[in-house]
Amino acid sequence: MPADVRAARTACPKHMEYGPCGGVGFDGSCEIDEALRCPFVDGAAIAWHGVVAETGGGPSRGADPLPDPTPSPGAARVRDLLATRRIVVADFPARALDARSLAACVAAMSGPVDAVLSGDAGPARVQFAPSYRARLIADEGMLPFIGVNCRDRNRVALEGELAGLAHAGAGVVHCVTGDHTETGSRPDAKPVFDIDSTQLAALARAAGHLVSVGESPTTPPVGQRAARLREKEKAGADLCFVNHCGGAQPVARFIAEARALGSTSGFIPCIPIVLDEGSAHLLRTFTTLVLPPGYLDGILRAADPRAAGIVAAVELSRAMLALDGVVGIDLSGGAAPGREVEHARDLAEIARRLEDEL
């Protein structure tokens, strides 16, 4: 590991090697320590150099070549789908640790929505294990995209989950470093951060998965975000979820920058879903959230915020789907407590209105 990368890794509370994380402040401050300038924001993107063991035992995974993966059945399903049309993914609104809520939400969304993204949630950090969630969702008839974070498991536990996810039918494994435990509902827990999202992408690819990662184009270092994605692709990423960055124009700019660097990703921009004050509150908790000007207020001040939120999401989705390189959209956000199934129905309604654009 290069010396400057080692120094940055030592300073970073998440011990990231391929930083920064998506939570870095707009002023370059650390997500969890405002007094710390994130050590990754002022330099070039860290070049992909493999998954390196911290213990001094040498690389545990080579940078190149990666082992030939055996595609998981879920990954093959998604590749087939993406070969025919664009897709609608939706953040999964089901209550954590509640299989009945999970089944009810799948029933409400199945059909118009192609896949659900079930990942980390600040207000509900304790969830069914990723591979078990994938199996539950797949058994109910929905294609699961499963978020896996590096906060709660070390590399060995993650490798076990990745093997389980391939077996359980995960269509995509979405690799994130994860918010620190000092944010979210479980500050009592010790964070792990044995590896980071880029390294996790490599492990997921090696396990045969279709791999997605996130990038935040408007978060420092803005000029390095596309280059950072390129390094994640070298590690194993196939798809990029573009976090909320202010609308279709910033997404188009980001895709153009990435393509100029040789990016091969399919892009899935996040669409903010605001249907009431509860879903707006949840969206505001997202780190580095940038919404199109007036988006939130326009919905919440409408006579019927739910109807206005559906119309706004459809319009923004259409603008995103018109961009070169966009292979789908992600209806992003969450439900107000107790409105999980209604929220799922509204997501299905948004997806239904987009059928002609896919």
Q: What is the 3-state secondary structure (H, E, C) of 301-336?
A: CCCCHHHHHHHHHHHHHHHHHCCCCECEEEEECCCC
What's the min distance (Å) between Cβ of 327 and ligand SF4? Answer: 28
**Site residues for ligand SF4, window 23-42 (CB under 6 A)?**
23-24, 30-31, 38-40
Q: What is the distance, to the nearest Å, from the Cα of residue 306 to the centroid of all Cα atoms in its chain?
A: 25
Select from 6-14, 90-98, 126-134, 208-216 the region that touches ligand SF4 (CB under 6 A). 6-14
Which of 177, 231, 200 lies closest to 61 in space, CA to CA? Answer: 200
What's the min distance (Å) between Cβ of 1 and ligand SF4? Answer: 16
Which of 340, 357, 293, 356 lies closest to 90 in space, CA to CA? Answer: 340
Closer to ligand SF4 by Cβ: residue 39 or 93: 39
* 16 lies in the binding site for ligand SF4 (CB under 6 A): yes
Q: What is the distance, to the nearest Å, from the Cα of residue 146 to the centroid of all Cα atoms in its chain?
A: 9
Element spanning 145, H or E: strand 143-149
Choosing from 12, 75, 192, 335, the residue that interacts with ligand SF4 (CB under 6 A) is 12
* 48 lies in the binding site for ligand SF4 (CB under 6 A): no
Q: Per 3-state DSSP, what percentage of the chain is helix, strand, and coil (rounded to 5)?
A: 40, 15, 45
Cβ atoms of 136 and 99 within 8 Å: the answer is: yes
> What distance in Å separates the CA atoms of residue 18 and residue 296, rounded to the nearest whole number?
33
Choosing from 5, 21, 142, 273, the residue that interacts with ligand SF4 (CB under 6 A) is 21
Choosing from 20, 169, 236, 272, the residue that interacts with ligand SF4 (CB under 6 A) is 20
Closer to ligand SF4 by Cβ: residue 21 or 148: 21
Closer to ligand SF4 by Cβ: residue 4 or 355: 4
Select from 22-30, 55-63, 86-94, 307-315 the region that touches ligand SF4 (CB under 6 A). 22-30
Binding site for ligand SF4 (CB under 6 A): 12-14, 16, 19-21, 23-24, 30-31, 38-40
